[in-house]
Amino acid sequence: MVTAVEDGVNVLSLSVGGPADDYLSDPIAIGAFYAVQKGVIVVCSASNSGPQPGSVTNVAPWILTVGASTMDRDFPAYVTFGGVTSSMTIKGQSLSNSTLPQGQRYAMINAKNANAANVPSENSTLCFPGSLDSDKVRGKIVVCTRGVNARVEKGLVVKQAGGVGMVLCNDAGNGEDVIADPHLIAAAHVSYSQCINLFNYLGSTDNPVGYITASDARLGVKPAPVMAAFSSRGPNPITPQILKPDITAPGVSVIAAYSEAVSPTELSFDDRRVPYNIMSGTSMSCPHVSGIVGLIKTKYPDWTPAMIKSAIMTTAITGDNDSGKIRDETGAAATPFAYGSGHVRSVQALDPGLVYDTTSADYADFLCALRPTQNPIPLPVFGDDGKPRACSQGAQYGRPEDLNYPSIAVPCLSGSATVRRRVKNVGAAPCRYAVIVTEALAGVKVTVYPPELSFESYGEEREFTVRLEVQDAAAAANYVFGSIEWSEESESDPDRKHRVRSPIVAKTTCG
C-alpha cells in the first residue's frame, strides 16, 4: 500500500481482509492510515461472513467499508413440480448452460433420502462428494441444501451420481438470498420460503415429479436492492462507536471480464473457459464504490478522502424500488448494520451539498481517545500543523463517538449523551439547511442544535450537536436505529435541494 501511494495512485481498492483486529495491529488499517494521510482514499470490502452480527472487517474509520446487495436484474430459473393438473412453480436463479426438455417431467428426490451406504443423511442432504447413491439418484432431479461445500460442487456431485438436475435450496439461515451460478447441470437455486413448498410436496407423495426451465436475464426485478446474506454485518467489533459497514453496493451476480486461465467456478474439476464471468461477494461491490470514488476525485481533485467518503455516505438511499425499505435475506427490513448509510447512488454523490471532513488532528484525537498502551502509537499520526502527534497520558481527547463521521453510533447510552459534528458547504452559497429527524429511535429522543445552519461561502464549516436522551431504556436495550437529515432550503432556486442524511444507532446496554 505504501508503494502504491508512492507510485501516485488516487484510489486504493482492496477486496481483501481478515478478521477485525486492533487498529494498531491490523496491517490494512495501518497501510490505509498512511494512504489517507497522503490524500489517497482506501475502499475495502466488508467481507463475506454475514449475516452473523459483528462479522464486518476493515472497520477503521479512515477506510470506506462496503457491503453487498442485489440490483434489479436476475437470471431466473423455474422449478415446476406435481402432476399435470396440480402443479406448482417456484422461481430461483441459475446460469447453467444445461437445460431439460420443456415440460418433460422427471422423478425427484430429496438428497436426504438419497444417501449412499454407510453415509449419514446429514452429508447427503448437503450433497457432499461421495454422499449420494447412484441407484437412488440416476435419472432424477435431486434437491440439495445449501451450505458447507461449494454450490456448484453440489451439482457436480449430483451429475456424477447420474442425476439430471439439481434444485439447490436455502436453509433458514440463508433465507431469500439466492445466487446465479454457472452450474454444470440443469439447476435452480431457490429461496428458503419457496423451498418449503417443494419439501412439503416431496414428503407428500411416493412418486414426486418435476422439471427445471430457465430464461434469459430479466430487468426491473422487485424488490431491489436486497442485502446479500453473505454480506458481513455490524456492529463494529473493534470500536462500536463507529458504524460499519459504511455503504452497500451491487455485489450479487455481477458480470465482468474474466481470465481464461481458470474456470468460471475456479474449481479444479471445471474445465470450462470463458472471457467473462458472473460473480458475487463484497469483492464485487468494493470495486463499484472505488469507481464512484474515482469519478468524485476527478470532479473534485482537491477533496480529502473523508470528504469523498462523506459524499458517498450521506447521499445513499435506504429504500428499494418497491416503495419499501431495503430488505435482508429473510425479507425483513434491513438495518444500518447491514447497509451502513444505505445503497450507493453515484449521481447524487457527485453533488452532496454538505460533507463531513475529518482532519489529521481528528484521527489523532480519535486514536488517543482509545487509550492505546503503545506510545507513541505505531501509526504515522500528524497534527494539522504537520508535526508528529503522540498521546499524552492524562490528556483529554474526547470520546471515539465524537470523531467527525457521517454516521453516529452510541453504544452503552445511559441517561443522555451529546455528540458533536462539523459539516462543510460544498454547494452553492449562500445557502441554508434545516434538520429533521427522518427516523426516530425507539425509546430514545433525538435533539439537534442548532436546528438550522447557514453558509455564506463555499468551504465554510458549521458545527452542531446531536443529543440522545433515553426515554425508555428497555425499548432501546438492544440496538435501535434512526436518522437525521439536513435539508437545503433555497428561496431563490426551489429546485436546489440537497439532502444530507446520517444514520444513528444506539443502545442502552453495554457489551
Domain with 123 in it: what CATH number? Answer: 3.50.30.30
User: 271 and 193, same structural domain?
Assistant: no
SS (H, E, C) 74-120: ECEEEEEECCCCCCEEEEEECCCCCCCCCCCCEEEEEHHHCECCCCC
pTM of the full structure: 0.88
Question: How far is residue 270's CA from residue 262's CA, in Å, rounded to a whole number?
Answer: 9
User: 130 and 83, same structural domain?
Assistant: yes
Q: What is the pLDDT of residues 13-70, one digit of tens each?
A: 999 878 888 888 888 998 999 899 899 999 999 999 989 999 999 999 999 999 999 9
Residue 259 lies in a domain: yes
* Whether the predicted pLDDT of 378 surpasses 70: no
334 DSSP 8-state letter: P
User: 183 and 95, same structural domain?
Assistant: yes
User: 260 and 175, same structural domain?
Assistant: no
Preceding peptide of 430 cis, ω within 30°: yes
Residue 154 lies in a domain: yes
The identity of residue 414, as a single letter, is S
* Whether the predicted pLDDT of 383 surpasses 70: no
Instruction: Say if residues 155 and 137 touch (Cβ distance below 8 Å).
Output: no
Q: In the chain, what are the helix, strand and coil shares in percent, each to the nearest 5? A: 20, 30, 50
Please state the rounded mean pLDDT for residues 404-408. 97
* Whether the predicted pLDDT of 384 surpasses 60: no
Please state the rounded mean pLDDT for residues 255-270. 86
Instruction: Say if residues 59 and 238 touch (Cβ distance below 8 Å).
Output: yes
The identity of residue 270, as a single letter, is D
Question: What is the pLDDT at residue 1?
Answer: 87
User: 266 and 167, same structural domain?
Assistant: no
Q: Name the band, by pLDDT with cuts 50, 70 and 90, for residue 126.
A: very high
Grid cell at residue 2: 505504501
Question: How far is residue 428's CA from residue 421's CA, in Å, rounded to a whole number?
Answer: 21
Question: What is the pLDDT at residue 326?
Answer: 96
Residue 194 lies in a domain: yes
Q: Name the band, by pLDDT with cuts 50, 70 and 90, for residue 198.
A: very high
Question: How far is residue 248's CA from residue 343's CA, in Å, rounded to a whole number?
Answer: 5
Nearest Cα to Cα of residue 114 among 95, 134, 90: 134
Residue 158, phi then psi, degrees to nearest 5? -65, -45
Q: Name the band, by pLDDT with cuts 50, 70 and 90, for residue 395.
A: low
Question: What is the pLDDT at residue 235?
Answer: 97
Give the number of other CB atoms < 10 A from CB of residue 491: 6
318 DSSP 8-state letter: -
User: 202 and 91, same structural domain?
Assistant: yes
Residue 495 lies in a domain: yes
Question: How far is residue 170's CA from residue 166's CA, in Å, rounded to a whole number?
Answer: 13
Domain with 268, as residue range(s), is 251-280
User: 178 and 93, same structural domain?
Assistant: yes
Instruction: Say if residues 199 and 145 touch (Cβ distance below 8 Å).
Output: no
Residue 294 lies in a domain: no
Instruction: Say if residues 288 and 15 touch (Cβ distance below 8 Å).
Output: no
Instruction: Say if residues 503 and 325 touch (Cβ distance below 8 Å).
Output: no
Residues 6+ apart with CB under 8 A from 243: 234, 235, 236, 336, 337, 340, 405, 407, 408, 409, 503, 505
Residue 409 lies in a domain: yes
Buried b (16+ CB within 10 A) or exposed e, 138-159: eebbbbbbbeebebbbbbbbbb
Question: How far is residue 484's CA from residue 491's CA, in Å, rounded to a whole number?
Answer: 22
Please state the rounded mean pLDDT for residues 371-393. 60
Type and span of the H or E element at 289: helix 282-299
Residue 29 lies in a domain: no
Alpha-carbon Rg for the chain, nearest whole angstrom, is 26
Preceding peptide of 287 cis, ω within 30°: no
Give the chain's domain count.
3
Q: What is the pLDDT of residues 347-370, one digit of tens each?
A: 999 999 999 999 888 888 888 888
Nearest Cα to Cα of residue 32 among 67, 66, 1, 65: 1
User: 487 and 429, same structural domain?
Assistant: yes
Please state the rounded mean pLDDT for residues 179-207. 91
Please state the rounded mean pLDDT for residues 178-192. 90
Question: What is the pLDDT at residue 375?
Answer: 52
User: 174 and 113, same structural domain?
Assistant: yes
Query: For residues 236 and 277, which has the higher predicted lDDT (pLDDT)?
Result: 236
Q: Which of these three, 230, 260, 280, is where a domain ends?
A: 280
User: 260 and 189, same structural domain?
Assistant: no
Q: Is residue 304 classed as helix, strand or coil in its secondary structure?
A: coil
The identity of residue 123, as a single letter, is N
User: 264 and 199, same structural domain?
Assistant: no
Count CA atoms within 13 Å of residue 284 on its CB side.
22
Residue 463 lies in a domain: yes
